[in-house]
Structure 1
Amino acid sequence: MRKTLLLILLLCSITSFSQTKKDTTSSIKLDAILISTQRFAKPKRKVTQQVESISKIEMETGNFQTSPDVLANSGILAVQKSQQGGGSPNIRGFEASRILLVVDGIRMNNLIYRAGHLQNSITVDKNILESIDVLFGPSSTIFGSDALGGAIYFQTRDPKLLSESNGKKLTGNFISNYSSSNNGFLGHLDLNYATEKWASLTSFSYNDYGDLKMGKRKNGSNDFFGERPTFVQTNNGVDEVVLNDSRYVQKFSGYKQYDFLQKIIYQQNENTEHSLNFQYSNSSDVPRYDRLTDLTSKGKLKFATWNYGPQKRLLSAYKLSQKKVFLNSDLNLTASYQNIEESRINRNFGNPNQSSRVDNVSVFAINADFRTKIGKGDFIYGADIYYDDLNSTGVKKNIVTYAETVTDSRYPDGKNNTFRAEGFISYSNDITKTASYNASARAGYTTLNSEIATNFLKLPYTTMSQESLIYSGAVGIVNNASKNSKIAFNLASGFRVPNIDDLAKIFDSSAGTLIVPNKNIKPEKSVTADLSITLWKGKQFQLENVFYYTRLYDAIIISPYLLNGQSSIIYEGENSLIYANQNQGNGAISGISSTVKSYITKSLLLYGTFNFTHGRVQHDNEKEPLDHIAPYYGKAGLKYESDLLNLDLYMLYNDKKKLSEYSPSGEDNLKYAPIGGTLSWQTYNLKATLLLSNQYTFFSGIENILDIQYRTFASGINASGRNIFLGGKYQF
């Protein structure tokens, strides 16, 4: 595998530097790319932090089913899945609440984002995205808490005024496709209505995914793994184990989802713009597939039901953009409200009592960004204020008698809230004609309050509260020494303030293990240094290598814990060892990521990515593997582009992960991996886009052509087998 990757890199270098300069139709455009993830737009050449972008065209031609699937197929980060309806991105060994999800400049992370595996990116409709930008390394000075490993910035499309829509008042797109591996169907419609002063964009998507079929062929010489020979079926309140008609069909992995977006902009004058943004995502019950395959100590299926209830996300926001309002500063002011509902529904086999735990989160936020000039440099400053509120309930229902009783909730069932008020500054300027620098800082104050109204576990306390002063900083320098090179160095710190999930969660993370509250934890922090070296030749070749090293302090890790002097407790009828989140020493993460793109001819692009991460944490005078450290992975492909036809033949690859490299915390889900750990795998994929006219586009392709059976690192469900998809887009 390593020899293959080196050959690709070498071939790209040879083919690019041996060719003459051409005026390519599709090219590597460094100067044209603007990064909006720095609070205000900024040329990519002057950004010291590593940022990778996925465009709307790449998402459309790739014909991916969900936003996590877009990320998983990019080759620039890893994605974990516990069920088909999910996807937890991993950036440089950080995952879930240690990376930040942002949509249209608004934080998605809230007070119940967990540190394990997080599936919330599924609620962002990829059909209405303009781009996805991935920020690598600490981004706390830009966005605040949680961005230890980086941030993923989802930018939805904006309405277009009449001047931007070629004089057409009504424009839109209709997209539909079908996928064979899960009988998946997508229908999407968006409409843009434009006038000279205001515009409206309306979008609706509906997705219906059936049970996912895994690959039927062995992964090399490895044994078959993850097949589904039986499943539980319930009739008239009686559970029975049923033989699966096809052991390759992952029974009870399907789900449905719909997404709605409404945006309105009003251009008051050349200096003032108002915008409204409304988003709503909802789903059917989403089966937690990995839990449905859990076995008891006697080797029988443990659960009859284990679902995430409908995943609901509502966002409403108002934004004011105005030039020259204060000290000659441009202003972006956003006031937003989010409501998120998550629920967990589970019932043991043969037990008529079904537990439902519902968590409802409200998030209120005000964000103010200002930009002005100090001398010749750009000065950005502002403030962020957030208030999160949680209502957590638990109900146990008998599916035969329908009798209901109150049971323990996932989080304390009293008052739960967090408050954050933070300010930030950033300054960037040129040192010479080719070199520039930037420096930024953030500081603030946070509070957390949690109240246990019903003390089911008889904890020695019923209230928890914390106050924290937080701070972070970053400094970077970039030198474009010539037209063909760029060197950037960045040093940044990040922080993550413990939330309700960290302090107060009550959860059976696996069979015989119970996580209980611990109010004595403090923020975890990171410091990262990275060096990027980029070489290119005109618009035809680019090679970027980024080397990084991160120190993690006061790492929050799930470890054995004593509750009332006891190390175990009877929970849900089972004797469970007690664990809790605790600050357990310091960690170190290092790695390299490489990206290469080279046009062999005007229409033929050779490209590849490579990512390697190594992580360790030290506590109790011992070094252990950090969790969430994926084995090396990447993507290599050959793409043909013309005005009529685009073809993309590519390989996704992943190395194996040995048992010795798994974290003892359990977050790497060794129990759902093959014996011996994660296996290496490669899939081959071919995708085609046919552009018949400015109105009609057709998509077709085959994923996992060899129908290989495999499971991605830390996942609890097998990946798709051979998938044939067909789709089309009508633009009017």
Structure 2
Amino acid sequence: MKTKIKFLPGLLLGLGLSLQLASQNDSGVNVETDTPPSGTEINVVRDSTLKDSLWSTFSSDLDQVVVTAQRRSASRQEAGNSVQLLSRDFLDRQTPRSMAEALVGVPGVWMQKTNHGGGSPFVRGLTGNQVLLLYDGIRLNNSTYRYGPNQYFNSIDPFSVERVEVVPGGGGVLYGSDALGGTINVLTREPQFAAGDSTLLTGRLLGRLRSSDMEKTMRAEVGVEKEKLALFAGVSLRDFGNLHGGGDLGELVATGYDERAVDVKAKFKTGKRSVLTAAYNGLVQTGVGRYDQVAQRGYARYDFDPQERQLAYLRWRLLPVASWWESFEVTAAHQQSREVRLKQKEDSEILTREDDRINTNSLAAVAGFRFNPAWTATVGAEAYHDQVFSSAFDQNVNGGEILPKRGLYPAEATALSYAVFTSHRYRVGNWAVSAGLRYNLFRTEFTDDTFGNTDFKPTALVWDGGLTYNLSQGQQLELKVASSFRAPNVNDLSSFGSFDFGIEVPSPDLEPERSLNTELAYRQYSGRLKWGVTVFRNQLRNLIEREQSTYLGEATYEGQDVYTKVNRSEATIFGAEADADFRLNDQWRIITNLSYTRGEADGKPMRRIPPLHGRFDVLYRPAKSKWFADGSLLWAGAQRRLSGGDVDDHRIAVGGTDGWLTVGVRGGYEWKAWTVTLFANNLNNAAYRLHGSGVDGAGRHAGMEVAWRW
């Protein structure tokens, strides 16, 4: 029997409270809390104990340094109240299996998992190619990112991450297409320069086990710190066994997989005021199964094998001498992603292999200015170029002939994006006004022998603006309005193949999706209590959705219904987020959240809108002790408001998704260079599924992590 939670108890549990994830950096590292003046870098210092850094994990002062909201270093007060931050300390404390699981419980974010090897963040009701993912400020979204939940966020190794910044409500001006729901920027570990002529060698070895053979992880890291050279490198080897669900669900077949990841970052001082950064990260996952397809849709096999991503970049950063010019940086990047799908129906001897590879080259230049103490600005230009290679074949598993066929996309396709943008903020007394503008050109080309050729050239002009008022010391009220867009990509225009509940045929006559997000936020910081509330309304038009269609004059193909993509009329998403951080005393702390979202399209419910959900954490740090302990409740109400697509979706139960609640505890001890962490999750053994997911959550389980630093 699934655990249920009624609306009222859930509301009382999270009313007015939120998990506020802070901006502390690496475990044992604190970032200075003022925006760096021109000609300086953000300095870092090492904390004395792990316990202290964990205690400060959730601090939420307005002067925290963030980079995503303004595309440069800025205080949180300057960047805006809605920014949510996850620190390295938080990731260490939570011991998440993946980046997808790391974002569970963040205000305004809902994590859907189509499969155990995936995970797609919903930001204010939107996901997939309607949420922009960044890695060190570089777009991960490419021209094949799909509508709806996907596995892309799971291609980031959580051990490589220093912090995550979530900017809800659109980021179209600074980052371009796809930021309809918001922007998630994953910022990786930063090596540090040493003082003087000294050389410092650091490192960490870590091992983690999760019960029921659900995880075996080994991680090795090394760092070299010199006056003009800093290096950090890490290797992760991970084996995830099949999930074991709660209640009487038992072992969930086709959910385990293997993962290997490497990350390297080196920084070189090229002058007194300039630094060159060279970075590489790569991740490969093998045997990643689609549990929902095997358990519910008649597949004997449905694997991503492999799914992989690689990113390398060079970034040169200059801190000019001029007092009005804060920073200038140029980033050149190359990415490769690959997804191989192996599919075989039950009682069939035919194995279908689909192989999609995407190469992306990009170049971006961004400058930060402080023309006077009241006026700051960001100006930039960028270009992205995608090359898509797609192929497929059928083969008889008993050694039969290989039959080539059209891939999910045309054999070769290209996509180009060019943009210029600017964003400004001006402060007058207790008031501050902000405004930004972006112009974007796109071109998507491909030759398709089956469906005809396409040369698609949309443009976009988007803007944003805001007004902030500091009511008094520690209180802030902010109104923001932002327009965003999403240009149809190669997946929208040319996809031909199966999706969650049918067969999709190409849709060459599409227009860009548009959104206008309005939000009002209030935040107060006073003594031991920090809390805030945000209300928002996102108006969307030209939404791209699927509708039933025909192929070769037939409404079905290979036994499945045929669909195509079309632009829909207007839709509206509105909701509220509340958060609080309460220090009872020097040892006890409570942090909790509540998020509510509702979506309407053509007078009917929007698809996959998350239910009311939240989190409640209690932290305990005994005085003068190296022990730490935490308890957490994660919960969601039932979701009965279903769209037509939800009703057709095999992953959503008839009548909707039940509410659920899970209880977790974790604790640890630091002794010299050693840290031991013990954790247990879903102590109540709830059988639950996040709304829209294709796989159930793990049942009651325990784990241990041991780390040694030098």
Please confirm whether the aligned pair reaches a TM-score higher than 0.5, indicating the same fold: yes
Q: Residue 591 in 1 paired to residue 575 in 2?
A: yes
Per-residue CA deviations over 1:273-294 (Å, capped at 9, x if unaligned) read 1010111110112011110012
* Equivalent of residue 316 in structure 1, options 295, 312, 325: 312
Q: More deviation in 547-556 or 481-490?
A: 481-490
Q: Residue 731 in 1 paired to residue 709 in 2?
A: yes
The aligned runs of 1:454-473 (5 Å cut-off) are 455=450, 459=451, 462-473=452-463
* Correspondence for 1:442: 438
* Correspondence for 2:594: 610
Cα distance in 2, alignment partners of residues 567 and 140 from structure 1: 40
Question: Contact (CA 8 Å) 1:182, 1:213: kept in 2 or not?
Answer: no
Cα distance in 1, alignment partners of residues 180 and 108 from structure 2: 17
CA spacing shift, 1:48–1:653, aligned 2, 3 Å: same
Letter in 1 for 2:344: R
The SS at the match of 1:365 is strand
Cα distance in 1, alignment partners of residues 348 and 13 from structure 2: 56
* Correspondence for 1:340: 337
Cα distance in 2, alignment partners of residues 192 and 316 from structure 1: 19
* Correspondence for 2:697: 719
Cα distance in 2, alignment partners of residues 524 and 674 from structure 1: 30
The SS at the match of 2:129 is helix
* Correspondence for 1:546: 534
The SS at the match of 2:103 is helix
* Correspondence for 1:524: 513
Cα distance in 1, alignment partners of residues 478 and 205 from structure 2: 42
C-alpha displacement of 1:74: 3.7
The SS at the match of 2:239 is strand
* Correspondence for 1:395: 393
Cα distance in 2, alignment partners of residues 680 and 330 from structure 1: 48
Cα distance in 2, alignment partners of residues 60 and 397 from structure 1: 45
Q: Residue 263 in 1 paired to residue 247 in 2?
A: no
The aligned runs of 1:92-491 (5 Å cut-off) are 92-163=124-195, 169-216=200-247, 227=249, 248-295=250-297, 302-324=298-320, 328=325, 330-376=327-373, 377-413=375-411, 415-432=412-429, 434-453=430-449, 455=450, 459=451, 462-491=452-481
C-alpha displacement of 1:12: 7.8
Question: Contact (CA 8 Å) 1:508, 1:514: kept in 2 or not?
Answer: yes
CA spacing shift, 1:497–1:12, aligned 2, 3 Å: closer
Question: Contact (CA 8 Å) 1:335, 1:366: kept in 2 or not?
Answer: yes
Cα distance in 2, alignment partners of residues 271 and 118 from structure 1: 41
Cα distance in 1, alignment partners of residues 7 and 199 from structure 2: 52
* Equivalent of residue 79 in structure 1, options 111, 122, 136: 111
Question: Contact (CA 8 Å) 1:61, 1:689: kept in 2 or not?
Answer: no
Question: Contact (CA 8 Å) 2:379, 2:422: kept in 1 or not?
Answer: yes
Q: Which runs of 4+ in 1 moved over 6 A?
A: 9-13
Question: Contact (CA 8 Å) 1:435, 1:481: kept in 2 or not?
Answer: no
* Equivalent of residue 509 in structure 1, options 499, 515, 520: 499
C-alpha displacement of 1:407: 1.9
- Structure-2-length-normalised TM-score: 0.90
Question: Contact (CA 8 Å) 2:326, 2:369: kept in 1 or not?
Answer: yes
Question: Contact (CA 8 Å) 2:364, 2:381: kept in 1 or not?
Answer: yes
* Correspondence for 2:47: none
The SS at the match of 1:266 is strand
* Correspondence for 1:646: 628
Letter in 1 for 2:608: H
Q: Residue 568 in 1 paired to residue 546 in 2?
A: no
CA spacing shift, 1:8–1:631, aligned 2, 3 Å: closer
* Correspondence for 1:223: none
Question: Contact (CA 8 Å) 1:76, 1:609: kept in 2 or not?
Answer: no
C-alpha displacement of 1:435: 2.4
Q: Residue 690 in 1 paired to residue 672 in 2?
A: no
The aligned runs of 1:650-665 (5 Å cut-off) are 650-658=632-640, 661-665=641-645
CA spacing shift, 1:515–1:39, aligned 2, 3 Å: same
CA spacing shift, 1:99–1:325, aligned 2, 3 Å: farther
Aligned pairs, how many?
665
Alignment gaps of 5+ in structure 2: 1-5, 19-51
Per-residue CA deviations over 1:468-499 (Å, capped at 9, x if unaligned) read 11111111122222123111110001100000
C-alpha displacement of 1:47: 2.0
The SS at the match of 1:95 is coil
* Correspondence for 1:69: 101
CA spacing shift, 1:325–1:505, aligned 2, 3 Å: farther
Per-residue CA deviations over 1:170-215 (Å, capped at 9, x if unaligned) read 1011121101144311111111112110111111111101111001
Question: Contact (CA 8 Å) 2:16, 2:594: kept in 1 or not?
Answer: no
Letter in 2 for 1:676: G
Cα distance in 2, alignment partners of residues 29 and 498 from structure 1: 38
The SS at the match of 1:96 is coil
* Equivalent of residue 499 in structure 1, options 486, 489, 492: 489
* Correspondence for 1:710: 688
Cα distance in 2, alignment partners of residues 673 and 626 from structure 1: 14
Letter in 1 for 2:276: H
The SS at the match of 2:343 is strand
The SS at the match of 2:629 is strand
C-alpha displacement of 1:328: 4.5
Question: Contact (CA 8 Å) 1:188, 1:206: kept in 2 or not?
Answer: yes
C-alpha displacement of 1:537: 1.1
Question: Contact (CA 8 Å) 1:280, 1:313: kept in 2 or not?
Answer: yes
Letter in 2 for 1:336: A
Question: Contact (CA 8 Å) 2:107, 2:578: kept in 1 or not?
Answer: no
* Correspondence for 2:610: 630
Cα distance in 2, alignment partners of residues 484 and 9 from structure 1: 23
Cα distance in 2, alignment partners of residues 672 and 36 from structure 1: 37
The SS at the match of 1:547 is strand
Cα distance in 1, alignment partners of residues 175 and 432 from structure 2: 22
C-alpha displacement of 1:147: 0.4
Identity %: 21
CA spacing shift, 1:8–1:116, aligned 2, 3 Å: closer
Question: Contact (CA 8 Å) 1:272, 1:320: kept in 2 or not?
Answer: yes
C-alpha displacement of 1:390: 0.1
Cα distance in 1, alignment partners of residues 347 and 11 from structure 2: 55
Question: Contact (CA 8 Å) 1:427, 1:440: kept in 2 or not?
Answer: yes
Per-residue CA deviations over 1:515-539 (Å, capped at 9, x if unaligned) read 100101110000010000112213x
The SS at the match of 2:644 is coil
Cα distance in 2, alignment partners of residues 282 and 577 from structure 1: 33
Cα distance in 2, alignment partners of residues 466 and 96 from structure 1: 22
Letter in 2 for 1:196: E
Question: Contact (CA 8 Å) 1:181, 1:720: kept in 2 or not?
Answer: no
Question: Contact (CA 8 Å) 2:522, 2:532: kept in 1 or not?
Answer: yes
Cα distance in 2, alignment partners of residues 627 and 10 from structure 1: 26
Cα distance in 1, alignment partners of residues 648 and 202 from structure 2: 47
Cα distance in 2, alignment partners of residues 113 and 95 from structure 1: 11
Q: More deviation in 321-330 or 376-385?
A: 321-330
C-alpha displacement of 1:7: 4.9
Cα distance in 2, alignment partners of residues 551 and 12 from structure 1: 26
C-alpha displacement of 1:682: 0.5
Question: Contact (CA 8 Å) 1:79, 1:88: kept in 2 or not?
Answer: yes
- Structure-1-length-normalised TM-score: 0.88
Letter in 2 for 1:712: L
* Equivalent of residue 535 in structure 1, options 493, 505, 524: 524
Cα distance in 1, alignment partners of residues 577 and 620 from structure 2: 25
